Structure 1
């Protein structure tokens, strides 16, 4: 299995990262340039104080004024150039992040998407790249300027009157202490929790919105809303606790950073009494009055920029979390199976992060053209068995073969062409019913699609809508029930005409009428195919060539329906329970 080396933010920029470096240098230069107008303003005040009250004797005011304007304009243009450089680099970084992630996820096992959810993956790829782009384009040059500014200011503060300079820096030092209380490892962990909470909310929001048509149309229970609500409550709890935790340090930081005047003014009153040249001291004091508010702005910018840096750093880690996932090993020899016989040989498998085996030394064989059913309690491993065949996941040990060839030695394209899927959670795209069916065979003719739809008992569905098979799913009231959606899915599988059919709870959401039609469609779908079915409705698998009972990742019984009933084991008990449940339903209807 291949893993990518973790990348830093600028690694995604390629050679464009040098524009980021240039942009940061220009931002630092701009930060120095925009300080010069404040010196010019001080010089103007100094000239006025020296000749006061004969202000008319001042001759250099216009010179200092134009000097301030020129340096301001030059500083703005230099900063504009800095932003141009960082924006170009940031856009390239975000584009490369998205491109690499999107190209990479198509190589991941399909099980990865089941584990993480489409909403979470979408947010990581889209919003994390945008977050990184914002940081590189705006925040990073601002941080550079914010760091250069205090260095230049400290030099200037000490240059005029070192006593006032030290007094001005005391609140800054105190504010740095309180800023550190809010930052460090705790802030890194908090930013991680913040992103996790947003991921969860986004994922649940996507699932909830997707479920709205089903909920509104069929009145099904809104479990997805409960999950969405829980994710909101989790975020709310985190946000409130985080706010309370930072309340005192943030108040202390704000008070200290804004208290320069509280020390500077009393100090000025005390020091002027002992000043040898009061006029010069007053002019120096005015410089500090003009200059020190910049320190407050700069320190606030540094603190909030640091938070954005941690967010961007965490966003990059999340992109890397996708790029570090193990991809499916590509078949080197690209062997082609001679037939559609499926065989599991001593297969072990555990899901990521689990200590328990989902499959434990499973061996089975589904001969070409045979129909095998998997039954057993929920969580027993039925769906996991089916997931191994198309390589939704790869086995931890043992092997799965088709036609005697290890599926890891079959190209992904060939393997997918050999398998058709009909799962309980049918996915229909917001396009026409015709295109939804043709999705399994894009080059199919209209006649082929219509024939597959007829075989899947879909004609009645088309008759419900004015545009028939051309009706767009999800628009203008075009919604399908669970059973109708399954018939569209069956039409896809019939059109594909693959030699292997995987059916996972294909009648789970069907009412009796739809179940009858789905069963009729099954007859067309499975003719001459190798079939693996998973079902809780035992009536649908009575005629299977072999039934395998799976529990806790192991096959504990196997045989035909009648053979298993005669064994008086687990399957027999399941059958009796199923018959009892049918009786309850009949009585309810009666």
Structure 2
């Protein structure tokens, strides 16, 4: 348990950077605040001693007012120091969370684009942004409370043993029992139970989010929660762990903890009863009564201090879990940029004996792939689903780096080309288009931030987007997603094509650009593609075989291997896999719904 706390705090302080000094300043001020808070209790003891010593002649009291002002002054000082300490720790916490986000974003900006295929934006945000928020409580409050409470305990122990060590031991006995009870709940073998409990809670939250997103599908098919077994299982797992941990592991220790911390006073009574006879004989009865009053009042601090420790410990556990999620982002693979970058000599694309396997997979996605796309050629990639088409195309812009062999662009290994130069060489149009919640103008201009308004409008015109612009209330300045302004899948695809046209890259990678378009949009998309692909090297992934019959070369992939290669007619003449796919495609195109009468 101690090691986990140290690791969490140390890791967070590394992210704090120059603001680490604010954390230490806040902890120091919190410690001073706790020391100041002890003084009023000492003053109470002094007042009680003086009042008892002059009984019943209270007019002889001389220092009560002085003690009262001292208590008030230190109480105010304690509040001021604590407030100042919290300002420091909060500033440090906010800046640390900011640094975590900045460092995390800077790191994932260096990750290959393929990383984002397996790590959705919501997952990354949950790991980075939400986890950064979880660390704020530890730095802003918990650390200050822990340090302050430790100092408070140290001061308490000293005072308790100064006035009467026997009553001091009686008071501390309740603290010892409480600490043992808390350790039995959160330490030793139960520390893992707490971690499992937190993990089950995280899984339930994640499964719940997925279930909510899938509610439309569940409602369409009239299913119940049982249809989403992952969510149901996550709820049951969390329920079981919560019931076991809270009901069995924590029930008795927590009852003992609360009983003895809230009832610390009970340990003083037998001690006083034992000490009274001796005090009466020695004449120290008044001192005994005074000390008893002091310890009775002072024992109330114990429950407050121990409660702070318990809540602070849970904050450290939460921060430790958050740091693990942050580490998942910080450990994301990064693309290594070359030290001596080279410039591509032309627009050719060459695969030389390329093999690639995804992390965690035992089978290669691509195995010993070799082919060449000359500058200006159009290459079509076809084959069964899962054959490796998208993986092959993603290796050109270094979405992933190859395991064996090399990919060359312009006769230069892509690993030897500066990443910014490589990305300028290639334009992409994917099946799933991503548009930002901003104007159409800015959505297109993101491909070339220096482009003028006229340049963007020409790109939109070339992408056959005139009808989209005309129907929108503010034309190209219309903000997407606002006031019910949304585009269909085919319309979004044309906006994406306008981006690619504005980027004006010599190499185009198309991943079934018209897959989700209706017939009307598909015609417009094909016209836009003819403009985009003119005089450029094109790598096209296609499922609609009719769109690639004029490609310079068709490469047929199956299970990560090139099984056929040639023009459309050459592949038909071979009578292999492509020939079968072509026949299946034509059958699918001719398929239509018929009435029972027509079928007869």
- TM-score band, normalised by shorter chain: 0.7 to 0.9
Instruction: Name the residue aligned to 1:193.
Output: 199
Shift of 1:106: 1.8
1:5-49 C-alpha deviation (Å, 9 max, x unpaired):
x98211223343233223322322221221121121122233333
- CA spacing shift, 1:470–1:89, aligned 2, 3 Å: closer
Q: Is the 8 A contact 1:139 1:308 kept in 2?
A: yes
Aligned pair partner of 1:353 in 355, 360, 378? 360
Taking the aligned partners of 1:41 and 1:525, their CA distance within structure 2 comes to 86
Aligned pair partner of 1:48 in 47, 51, 65? 51
Instruction: Name the residue aligned to 2:4.
Output: none
Instruction: Name the residue aligned to 2:484.
Output: 477
Q: Is the 8 A contact 2:379 2:551 kept in 1?
A: yes
Q: Is the 8 A contact 2:350 2:407 kept in 1?
A: yes
Matched, 1:440 2:447: yes
Taking the aligned partners of 2:580 and 2:422, their CA distance within structure 1 comes to 37
Q: Is the 8 A contact 1:545 1:560 kept in 2?
A: yes
- CA spacing shift, 1:44–1:220, aligned 2, 3 Å: closer
Instruction: Name the residue aligned to 1:64.
Output: 67
Instruction: Name the residue aligned to 1:111.
Output: 114
Q: Is the 8 A contact 1:119 1:199 kept in 2?
A: no
1:537-571 C-alpha deviation (Å, 9 max, x unpaired):
22222222222222322222222233333333333
SS in 1 for 2:591: helix
Shift of 1:123: 3.3
> Residues 173-252 of structure 1 correspond to what in structure 2 (within 5 A)?
173-184=176-187, 185-186=191-192, 189-190=195-196, 193=199, 196-197=202-203, 200=206, 236-237=235-236, 239-244=238-243, 245-251=245-251, 252=253
1:423-462 C-alpha deviation (Å, 9 max, x unpaired):
0110111222222222222233333323322222211222
Aligned pair partner of 1:526 in 522, 533, 542? 533
Q: TM-score, normalised by structure 2?
A: 0.86
1:191-233 C-alpha deviation (Å, 9 max, x unpaired):
862785498479859x95xx99xx89xx9989xxx9xx88876
- Runs of 4+ aligned residues of structure 1 deviating over 6 Å after TM superposition are 219-222, 229-232
Shift of 1:317: 4.0
Instruction: Name the residue aligned to 2:85.
Output: 82
Q: Is the 8 A contact 2:167 2:268 kept in 1?
A: no
Instruction: Name the residue aligned to 1:128.
Output: 131
Shift of 1:273: 5.5
Shift of 1:366: 1.6
Q: What's the Cα RMSD here?
A: 3.4
Q: Is the 8 A contact 1:178 1:249 kept in 2?
A: no
- CA spacing shift, 1:174–1:76, aligned 2, 3 Å: same
Taking the aligned partners of 1:38 and 1:234, their CA distance within structure 2 comes to 53
Taking the aligned partners of 1:428 and 1:287, their CA distance within structure 2 comes to 69
Taking the aligned partners of 1:256 and 1:22, their CA distance within structure 2 comes to 32
SS in 1 for 2:299: helix
Taking the aligned partners of 1:182 and 1:548, their CA distance within structure 2 comes to 63
Shift of 1:474: 1.0
Taking the aligned partners of 2:102 and 2:54, their CA distance within structure 1 comes to 66
- CA spacing shift, 1:235–1:35, aligned 2, 3 Å: farther
Q: Is the 8 A contact 1:171 1:257 kept in 2?
A: no
Q: Is the 8 A contact 1:381 1:552 kept in 2?
A: yes
Instruction: Name the residue aligned to 1:339.
Output: 346
Aligned pair partner of 2:147 in 137, 144, 166? 144
Q: TM-score, normalised by structure 1?
A: 0.88
Aligned pair partner of 1:431 in 435, 438, 447? 438
Taking the aligned partners of 1:243 and 1:51, their CA distance within structure 2 comes to 58
Matched, 1:168 2:174: no
Shift of 1:585: 4.1
In the alignment of these two chains, the number of paired residues is: 576
- CA spacing shift, 1:220–1:281, aligned 2, 3 Å: closer
What runs of 5+ residues in structure 1 fail to find an aligned partner?
1-5
